[in-house]
A and B are shown apart, each in its own frame.
Chain A
Amino acid sequence: DPKIIQKPKYLVAVTGSEKILICEQYLGHNAMYWYRQSAKKPLEFMFSYSYQKLMDNQTASSRFQPQSSKKNHLDLQITALKPDDSATYFCASSPDRGDTLYFGAGTRLSVL
């Protein structure tokens, strides 16, 4: 059974709309992250959270907002979607900051 659940697996959106990507981890980890992989680009760090607090933010755009309602949840809200936002978004977690990362299977977002 997957221990890091990302929903949905595939998502199609229209330009200008808003979507929320869901991530839940059942590993008992205290740190959670978002990474993004756009076409022909490496996996790119976006955010890190520790004990539900934002620790690092590498995303320039405020259109990307992580939301942590529970310790094992870190959702990603994306507003005013653009075609360039099309990518696979990976959620990850680690026991604490600085530990090995465990990844979810990703949400593949396509913005038309």
Chain B
Amino acid sequence: QQQVRQSPQSLTVWEGETAILNCSYEDSTFDYFPWYRLFPGESPALLIAIRPVSNKKEDGRFTIFFNKREKKLSLHITDSQPGDSATYFCAASPSSSFSKLVFGQGTSLSVVP
């Protein structure tokens, strides 16, 4: 049973558009939600993270929207660039163990020039 689900599995957008990546979770004890980005052949790297004390976290072109009641969150990438093409992983962990992350299956994003 997958505790963190992502959709879509793959997404293609034109350069300049907003890419929206979705994530949902099941465990109510999850209290920390990082997004990691993975370029082929490289290491997964933390992109942005949110804790449920707020329902929005913004960092440049990347914004997380969080809905605790529905156990859903989304990552919005505005003004998408070809360099944003990568696999994006949503993850979650309880506050008791922020490092014991449960990952979603990832969304493969392609940004077409």
Residues of A within 8 A of B (CB): 2, 4, 31, 33, 35, 40-45, 48, 56, 58, 90, 94, 97-106
Contacts and interface: CB of A to CB of B under 8 A. Distances in A.
Interface residues on B, range: 20 to 34
A39 B45 CA distance: 20
Interface of B: 2, 4, 34, 36, 41-46, 49, 89, 91, 97-106
Contact of B103 (A2, A44, A99): A44
Given A42-B89, A42-B105, A97 B42 contact: no
B43 A99 contact: no
Contacts of A100: 34, 46, 49, 98
Given A41-B105, A42-B2, A42-B4, A97 B43 contact: no
B98 to A, nearest CB: 4
A106 B2 CA distance: 23
